[in-house]
Amino acid sequence: MRLLTVVAIDGPAGAGKSTVARRVAKELGFRFLDTGAMYRAATWAALAAGLSPLESEALSTLLVDLRLTFEDDERLRVNGIDVTEAIRNREVTSQVSAYAALPSVRTRMSRAQRELGEAGRLVCEGRDMGTYVFPDAMVRIYLDASPEVRAERRAKELKDKGESVNLDDLLEEIKARDAADSSRAVAPLKRVPEQHYVDSSNMSQEEVIKALLDVARSGLGSAA
């Protein structure tokens, strides 16, 4: 099997994947793809159109016309509208697991991800990158952290933004998303032995970036 020059990073919500994966991409000079943002964008579009996850025909039509474009691998537009901030709101966050579980949504997103990966030199992060979308990635990583640590990190982020937080509520939200992401029928979040396992619970962000870069460089070899 020909391997792709792809670094595929998976793990649960709030493990800090996006921030560290972005830095790893920058250090390697690779493109970066936040696939959670794609599922959030599809959810945002469905909610804006007033479509529930049950309205499968209307959703399929919406997906056909959905144009997702990343600018500088950072700002995301849906059919021309900049949704970078909107896709992080509470409503999208609480609904995204339900839309991300739909086979029609997953097929559409996986195909777009695959196209980017086949061009090579890509760091991507999500829930099913190394297991489902890129089983042929040169480097596959599972980045973990305990639910308590993830809730605390999220609380700090929200506090820094001036939002009020309840740690118990955040912990419940995180556990509910873990359960939804791990138990769905199509491409659930799971760990496989081929992934390098990194538990970031007791590591600083810089330590995680260094650990991931070491794993990526050794896996990529001369392709780095």
Q: Which residues bind ligand DC (CB under 6 A)?
A: 13, 35-36, 39-40, 96-97, 100, 126-129, 177, 181
CB within 8 A of 163, min separation 6: which ones? none
Q: What's the N-to-C CA distance of the chain in angstroms?
A: 19
Closest distance to ligand DC from the beta carbon of 143 (Å)? 11
> Nearest CA to 16 among 114, 133, 144, 117?
144
**Token reading at 163:** 């939002």
